[in-house]
Structure 1
Amino acid sequence: MPVLGVCSLKGGVGKTSITLGLASAAVAAGLRTLVVDLDPQADTTLALGATGAAAQDVAAVLDNPADYVVKSALAVSSWDPDMLDVLMGSADSARHDGPTYEHRLGRLATALDTLDEYDLVIIDCPPSLGGLTRQGLTACDRALVVTEPGLFSVTAAARAFKAIDDLRRSSAPHLQPLGVVINRVRARSSEQAYRQAELEGMFGPLILSPMIPERAAMQQAQGAGRSIHDWPGASAAELAQAFDSILARGMRAMSEA
């Protein structure tokens, strides 16, 4: 069961939007998918239409990763109840975001090992390198770093890769970076063009193509509680095709591991 983590060490770069786009692409590709919402803001849970639909949540799973707790924290998504489930996020998960001892880093991985009905798991990590992100990445096969072409986002992407490398050397030797997705790209912005070139110089072939353009269709679809593949218009189709390409690359990488 391949597990893909979506992370950023800076908020506001559209990490959750990338998670939702990949989940949309997975459903469109016919993959039975689980999204794990590790962010205490629980925006992914809300966007996927799963709020209040389970007895437990991810905080309870991290307390006790037993099979019965995991099952009680799962809810179906209104996007597609047959193909897409959510391991519910909650503000209570913030108590797991402090210093995490090595023996606790594998709890989410242990929880996911109780499941075998999914073709793909996508983990939406918080925008920081606390205990939640460390537990999330420890459970992953590949990690996708989300950034945007701005000064502070560039430096945060570099920190994220260092964090992935540190985890590979300790609790997660199986973890590999999938690459960097550059989000919210605006055409004809000289500052963004400069930062894109900077990112390409830093990460080279790890920059994923295509980059994700800034389009109102993304926010419109989320506001309506629908996936980008289910939203009308040329802009939505452009975004859907971009997410299809990134997901396909991720699935190939994880199948070759």
Structure 2
Amino acid sequence: MLGVCSLKGGVGKTSVTLGLASAAMTAGMRTLVVDLDPQADTTLALGATGAAAQDVAAVLDNPARYVVDSAIAASSWDPDLLEVLMGSADSVRHDGPTYEHRLHNLSTALSTLDEYDLVLVDCPPSLGGLTRQGLTACSRALVVTEPGLFSVTAAARAFQAIDTLRRGPAPALQPLGVVVNRVRARSSEQTYRQQELEGMFGPLILSPVIPERAAMQQAQGAGRAIHDWPGASATELAEGFDALLARAVRAMSET
């Protein structure tokens, strides 16, 4: 299971989750996307809104298999390969202080599922109870950032949070690395921040970086996977997500 996280909003965490889901679908991997963000943007983008009787909030209340099954819906991208554990604004109830025994509710719920090749957990852009539960359920954590001052400092805090969880309730959790998103090639400020990120995280900076392209927003607005969107920019993005997915799959196979 791969957790996608950021401790700062607006860096494209959900877009990266969707890109990885698109890559997995194209590769023929049966994939479940867990939408832990109370905004439920991932659920909307994947075309699963209103398609299940319950949602992730109910699963966090009761991680029994029958509740999990009732909260999963097929994605309109590919109903056979891609499914969504539905996000909900109601999940914000679980985003406050989380008692130790409840940190494993999502992990318990997901442990009953063996029919998926990949589980992606889209965490909220904060270190509350939802993100802690999401990362506790995962074997790898992917930190999303962009080359800006506040995003760089948030990435550092995210790694501190991952380390804290590793030394506590999630000893199996390992950082996969940092995805640098929304990169503009001719921005001197971004170039400086990229160098700063490389100095801070070294080999944890994943390659390739994800460039800022209008095709990403266009595909999402049309309810389409980036691999299904026409044009050279979409192809460039799709190839980047293919490479990131391959890195993640290799890392998770080593656990």
| TM-score relative to the length of structure 2 | 1.00
Counterparts of 1:116 and 1:149, CA distance in 2: 37
- Output aligned runs, 1:124-143, within 5 Å: 124-143=122-141
Q: Which amino acid aligns with 2:69?
A: K
Report SS of the residue matched to 1:155.
Answer: helix
1:191-213 Cα offsets, whole Å, 9 max, x none, are: 00000000000000000000000
1:218 maps to 216
1:106 maps to 104
Displacement of 1:184 after TM fit?
0.2
User: Would you say 1:69 and 2:37 are equivalent positions?
Assistant: no
- Output aligned runs, 1:41-120, within 5 Å: 41-120=39-118
Counterparts of 1:222 and 1:111, CA distance in 2: 29
Q: Which amino acid aligns with 1:88?
A: M
Counterparts of 1:142 and 1:195, CA distance in 2: 25
Counterparts of 2:125 and 2:71, CA distance in 1: 22
Counterparts of 1:93 and 1:235, CA distance in 2: 35
CA RMSD of aligned residues (A): 0.3
Counterparts of 2:27 and 2:143, CA distance in 1: 22
Pick from 178, 196, 199: which aligns with 1:198? Answer: 196
Displacement of 1:252 after TM fit?
0.2
Report SS of the residue matched to 2:189.
Answer: helix
1:195-234 Cα offsets, whole Å, 9 max, x none, are: 0000000000000000000000000000000000000000
Report SS of the residue matched to 1:145.
Answer: strand
1:184 maps to 182
- Size of the aligned set, in residue pairs, is 255
Pick from 238, 243, 246: which aligns with 2:244? Answer: 246
Counterparts of 1:40 and 1:235, CA distance in 2: 30
Counterparts of 1:98 and 1:213, CA distance in 2: 34
1:14-48 Cα offsets, whole Å, 9 max, x none, are: 00000000000000111000000000000000000
1:97-133 Cα offsets, whole Å, 9 max, x none, are: 0000110000000000111110000000000000000
1:64-104 Cα offsets, whole Å, 9 max, x none, are: 00000000000000000000000000000000000001100
| TM-score relative to the length of structure 1 | 0.99
Counterparts of 1:188 and 1:77, CA distance in 2: 37
Counterparts of 1:201 and 1:115, CA distance in 2: 39
1:7 maps to 5
Report SS of the residue matched to 1:61.
Answer: helix
Counterparts of 2:187 and 2:91, CA distance in 1: 38
Counterparts of 1:163 and 1:102, CA distance in 2: 16
Counterparts of 1:179 and 1:111, CA distance in 2: 26
Q: Which amino acid aligns with 1:172?
A: A
1:33 maps to 31
Q: Which amino acid aligns with 2:42?
A: T
Runs of 4+ with deviation above 4 angstroms: none
Counterparts of 1:121 and 1:136, CA distance in 2: 11
2:253 maps to 255
Displacement of 1:187 after TM fit?
1.1
Report SS of the residue matched to 2:98.
Answer: coil
Counterparts of 1:43 and 1:195, CA distance in 2: 28
Displacement of 1:254 after TM fit?
0.5
Q: Which amino acid aligns with 2:94?
A: H
Counterparts of 1:121 and 1:53, CA distance in 2: 19
Displacement of 1:173 after TM fit?
0.2
